[in-house]
Amino acid sequence: MIKSEFSTPQRQSKTGLLVLFANTVFEFLKAMWILLVVFFLRGKTMDVFWGIGGILLVLLGFGVYSYLKYRTFTFYIDEEQNEFIVQHGILNKTKTVIQLHKIQQVNLKQNIIHRIVNVYQVNIDSAGSEEKEAVINAVSKEVAMALKAKLLDNERVEVVDNSVEVEKEIEDKPFLKIDLISLLKVGITSNYAKSIGLLLTFFFTIYENLNHAGADEFIDGSKVEDFIQSNTEVYSILLATALLFTIIFIINIVRTLAKYYGFKIAKHKGSLIMSYGLIATQSTILKPEKVQIVKITRNFFQKKLKILEIKIKQTINDDSKQDKSTIEIPGCNEIERDEILQLIFNEIPEKGEKLKPNIRKLLFSIFILIVLPLTAYLSIGNWFANSIFEYKSIAIVYTIFVLIGLLFGFKNNSLFINNRHIIMQSGAWDVDNEIIKIEKIQAITTSQLFWHKSLNIGSLTIHTAGGNISFQLGKFDKINQYINLWLYQIEKNESNWN
């Protein structure tokens, strides 16, 4: 075997030192920024003087720390053992050993600092029960490309061997490009809940930090109260809602743009290559044979705007990496969807025979989500605290909303089965279509309550390496018939899954 340039331990790129330093400083600022702002706003001149001195000292410390980190970080390929080895640690030495054939993905990443000094971060993901992962923070482009090629060379499965070629391909002939308009459409039509969550976390973090810093006077609660008193209640609520929605829209749009700006997909030897991101460019390779579940999501607005989202779930080796194994394609149209499906499944999965859940599923959800809470509300109001009847408009709005949601959810909930695929449709507002290839099934569970036996209804759960799919309260004999068919299809092949 020819000794490659990686057979001896080597350090990261020298210019990469800057990246290490910037990363450390960034982490520090992220943790401390509120304290620093408060300090500089409230401190006396003398304090600020000392503060600047202190910060300079801290920066110097970080410089030394980064340098030591740089000196102690080495990586190499042990050609005899076929292992990739990363050693790091200033005082506590850590040695990560990854067997080459276990390496699943090698991703090159660049954030804004990487771009300035023109270096790359290399992420190495491995498979197997001993989950391991290595990150090399800053190497030059040539080294990154060579390393990637070298590491993936040993992969058993067909592999993208020439990374430079790949990069060129994705630049030259992307078969799908998501334009700004589509991203804007996605931004205003999806992920409301996620943005509300982000917003809340953001406010709580600031609030808590300000409290910690003893800056209570910054938060002037009385102004808000004055404002509410000077206007009517309805007006305030309307204004607050409008404000909230505007902020959510803005957050959504910014988030979508930052994450997916310049989304491009190219085909390369049967794999899909994606690259996207405004501040940090990500590139990912997707192998069709690793795909477990393809989820197509679309809500009412998105249907009108002719866009949809695709989520592709790959094999999960470890729950903590669930996010990484899911690939999202935001805002493509129907033609592009079909092209992607064609590439993954070699055909466009048709919706075959349709199974619907029993009406009891709807009745049961209504009972749990409407009847029970309403009964509790009415009885508490009646016997304990009459005052809660003042909020009855909330109760009415809740009932109407939940009822409509449940009705639509029930209407959409169905299982489609054709010869090679299972498609599960669900959701009230965002309608999901999850597509599974029958050969990707790992195990099947059925569940039946004993009083459902005579009614012939029961539930089905399909386990794959990318997650589960459940269909509840369907016709049980029909489900069982299909299970027997699927088992036959899976078991007649001697071949293992993958």
Partner 1 sequence: MENFTNEPIDISALPRYEAVNLNALQPKYWNVILFNIAAIFLIIGIALAVIIYFVEEIHSMAWLFGLVYVLFLGFTFLLSKISFQKRGFAFREHDVIYRSGIIATNTMIIPYNRVQHVALHEGFISRYFDLAKVEIFTAGGDSSDVSIPGIKKEQAEDIKQLLMGKIQKQL
Contact set for partner 1, span 327-356 (CB under 8 A): none
Which uninterrupted H or E stretch holds 56?
helix 45-72
Cα distances (angstroms) measured from residue 271 to each of 170, 313, 350: 12, 15, 23
The reply on whether position 463 binds partner 1 by CB under 8 A is: yes
Contact set for partner 1, span 143-172 (CB under 8 A): none
Determine the 3-state secondary structure of 274 from DSSP. strand
Residue 22 or residue 312: which is nearer to partner 1 going by CB? 312
CB 300 within 8 A of CB 274: no
Residue 24 or residue 448: which is nearer to partner 1 going by CB? 448
18 CA to centre of own chain? 29
Residues in the chain: 498
The reply on whether position 481 binds partner 1 by CB under 8 A is: yes
- Closest by alpha carbon to 176, among 81, 274, 243? 274
Contact set for partner 1, span 432-451 (CB under 8 A): 441-450
DSSP assignment of 219-266? S-HHHHHHHHHHS-HHHHHHHHHHHHHHHHHHHHHHHHHHHHTT-EEE
Residue 136 or residue 293: which is nearer to partner 1 going by CB? 293
Residue 231 or residue 447: which is nearer to partner 1 going by CB? 447
| Structure letter (DSSP) for residue 218 | G
Contact set for partner 1, span 301-320 (CB under 8 A): 315-316, 319
Contact set for partner 1, span 204-243 (CB under 8 A): none
The reply on whether position 488 binds partner 1 by CB under 8 A is: yes
Residue 37 or residue 483: which is nearer to partner 1 going by CB? 483
Tell the smallest beta-carbon distance from residue 416 to partner 1 (Å): 17
CB 362 within 8 A of CB 414: no
The reply on whether position 34 binds partner 1 by CB under 8 A is: no
Phi, psi of 104 (to 5 degrees): -100, -45
CB 436 within 8 A of CB 469: yes
Tell the smallest beta-carbon distance from residue 458 to partner 1 (Å): 8
Q: Strand 119-126's sheet: what is its strand order?
A: 103-109, 119-126, 133-140
Tell the smallest beta-carbon distance from residue 456 to partner 1 (Å): 12
Query: Which neighbouring-strand residues pair with 308?
Result: 332
Residue 192 or residue 497: which is nearer to partner 1 going by CB? 497
Q: Find where tokens 């071949």 sit.
A: 495
Determine the 3-state secondary structure of 35 from DSSP. helix
Number of residues that bind partner 1 (CB under 8 A): 33
Interhelix angle 233-260/192-212, rounded to 10 degrees, is: 100
Find the part of the chain contacting partner 1 (CB under 8 A) among 193-201, 226-234, 375-383, 456-464: 456-464
300: which 2 tokens?
């009412």
Tell the smallest beta-carbon distance from residue 172 to partner 1 (Å): 36
Residue 302 or residue 464: which is nearer to partner 1 going by CB? 464
Find the part of the chain contacting partner 1 (CB under 8 A) among 44-52, 99-107, 202-210, 483-491: 483-491
The reply on whether position 494 binds partner 1 by CB under 8 A is: yes
Q: Find where tokens 């001195």 sit.
A: 53
The reply on whether position 490 binds partner 1 by CB under 8 A is: yes
Tell the smallest beta-carbon distance from residue 476 to partner 1 (Å): 9
The reply on whether position 493 binds partner 1 by CB under 8 A is: yes
Query: Which neighbouring-strand residues pair with 422?
Result: 417, 436
Q: Which of 201, 246, 382, 484 is the binder for partner 1 (CB under 8 A)?
A: 484
Tell the smallest beta-carbon distance from residue 484 to partner 1 (Å): 4
CA dist., res. 131 & res. 137, Å (int): 20
Which uninterrupted H or E stretch holds 270?
none
Tell the smallest beta-carbon distance from residue 307 to partner 1 (Å): 32
Tell the smallest beta-carbon distance from residue 321 to partner 1 (Å): 12
The reply on whether position 485 binds partner 1 by CB under 8 A is: yes
CB 138 within 8 A of CB 120: yes
Beta-carbon-side half-sphere exposure of residue 379 (alpha carbons within 13 Å): 6
Residue 265 or residue 462: which is nearer to partner 1 going by CB? 462
Q: Which of 230, 320, 454, 495 is the binder for partner 1 (CB under 8 A)?
A: 495
Residue 431 or residue 462: which is nearer to partner 1 going by CB? 462
Residue 23's contacts (CB-CB under 8 Å, 6 or more residues apart) are 113, 137
Tell the smallest beta-carbon distance from residue 306 to partner 1 (Å): 36
The reply on whether position 99 binds partner 1 by CB under 8 A is: no
Tell the smallest beta-carbon distance from residue 420 to partner 1 (Å): 13
CB 476 within 8 A of CB 456: yes
Residue ranges binding partner 1 (CB under 8 A): 315-316, 319, 441-450, 461, 463-465, 467-468, 480-481, 483-485, 487-488, 490-491, 493-497
